[in-house]
Amino acid sequence: MVKVLKRELIVPNIHLLVLETEFIHKNAKAGEFVVVRADDYGERIPLNLIDWDKGSASTVFMEVGTSTRKLACLKDGDEIADLAGPLGRPTEMIQGQNVLCIGGCYGIGALYPVIRTFKKNQNRVITTIEARSAFLLYWQDKLKEFSDELHQITRDGTNGIKGHIDGFINDYVSKNKVDMIYVQGCTYLTFLSSQTTKPLGIKTIVGLSPIMIDATGMCGVCRVVIDGKTKFACVDGPEFDGHQVDWENLLTRRHTYIEHERKSLSFYECEIYG
Ligand code: FES
């Protein structure tokens, strides 16, 4: 069992989860993830590794289905069944480059360890966070600490620039030198960013979040098509060149279990709330 040191709602549907562990920090690097299981009946879910120290590991997750609902109900001092990690390949490090880092939803949290490491490696870090509305943006102060610039985009214009990421990228790169773009967030954000940067010829690295089971390269559930070849996001990723991702395949596979997830959540809610 693993002790929950902290579970906190950051903004609606997005939670911080800090777990007690003495081993994650020994090998943790930016861009890696952990797998957690809320209870003995819970599925294994991959979550971005956000922060770590000698006694803890932190993740940020979005409450979407039964398993994340279970995590969202945890209180400080509770226990979960399992924690495994760090897993996946770390973010490929670059040095002395102008890197535009984009995050949305849980991806805002996922940016944190990566921009911290980019900054440590003498890159110029331009952080950009986006959401539907201002109340869904978070961690501006934490991100500012490791950013040369911090931009905020809201689709309704309630904070920062009004619009979506495609307009921002086109506008920003027309006025500034950008060597690389790094994106963390939902599949639509990573897809849209990659589609926008492809004609601009700017290298774009995206963090993918396909469904996973074992997260050790054995079950094949997390397979994605990269440059025409099958790769496993858990061991070959989760970060890939966004211009090489077969987005149609990924989006289709992401939708396979939506109906089952919806049913599972309503059964769970009936069980809990009657
Ligand atoms: Fe099973 Fe990646 S989760 S191969």
Quick one: average pLDDT of 224-251? Answer: 95
pLDDT of 258 over the 80 cut: no
User: What is the spatial order of strands in the sheet that 124-131 belongs to?
Assistant: 161-162, 149-154, 124-131, 98-104, 180-184, 203-207, 239-241
- Average pLDDT score, the chain: 93
Residues 115 and 93: beta-carbon distance below 8 Å? no
What is the reported pLDDT for 272? 66
Distance 223 CA to ligand 1 centre (A): 7
pLDDT of 266 over the 80 cut: no
Task: Name the percent of the chain lying above pLDDT 90.
Answer: 84
So where are the chain's domains?
2-87, 98-209
Q: How confident is the model at residue 205 (pLDDT cuts 50, 70, 90)?
A: very high
Quick one: average pLDDT of 76-98? Answer: 95
**Mutation probe of ligand 1 site: the residue of 44, 45, 218, 253 with most atoms within 8 A of C-beta:** 218
Task: Give the residue whose CA is nearest to atom 1 of ligand 1.
Answer: 219
Task: Name the percent of the chain lying above pLDDT 70.
Answer: 92
Q: Which atom of ligand 1 is nearest to the CA of 232?
A: 2
What is the reported pLDDT for 265? 66
What is the reported pLDDT for 273? 67
pLDDT of 261 over the 80 cut: no
CATH number corresponding to 2-87: 2.40.30.10
Q: Residue 21 in 3-state DSSP?
A: coil
Q: How confident is the model at residue 253 (pLDDT cuts 50, 70, 90)?
A: confident
Residues 184 and 208: beta-carbon distance below 8 Å? no
What is the reported pLDDT for 252? 84
Distance 217 CA to ligand 1 centre (A): 4
Residue 70, Ramachandran bin (φ over 0: left; ψ between -120 and 50: alpha; else beta): alpha
Q: Which residue has the higher pLDDT, 259 or 174?
A: 174
- What is residue 136's DSSP assignment? G
pLDDT tens readout for residues 219-228: 999 999 999 9
Cα 212–74–215 angle (5° rounding)? 15
Q: Which residues line ligand 1 (CB under 6 A)?
A: 212-215, 217-222, 232, 234
So what's the architecture of 98-209 in CATH?
3-Layer(aba) Sandwich (3.40)
pLDDT tens readout for residues 137-180: 999 999 999 999 999 999 999 999 999 999 999 999 999 999 99
pLDDT tens readout for residues 178-195: 999 999 999 999 999 999
What is the reported pLDDT for 211? 87
Distance 69 CA to ligand 1 centre (A): 23
Distance 230 CA to ligand 1 centre (A): 12
What is the reported pLDDT for 147? 98
What is the reported pLDDT for 22? 95
Quick one: average pLDDT of 88-111? Answer: 96
Q: Which of 17, 166, 29 is nearest to 104 (CA)?
A: 166
Quick one: average pLDDT of 118-138? Answer: 97
What is the reported pLDDT for 188? 93
- What is residue 105's DSSP assignment? T
Q: Which residue has the higher pLDDT, 229 or 251?
A: 229
Q: Which atom of ligand 1 is nearest to the CA of 220?
A: 4
Quick one: average pLDDT of 210-236? Answer: 93
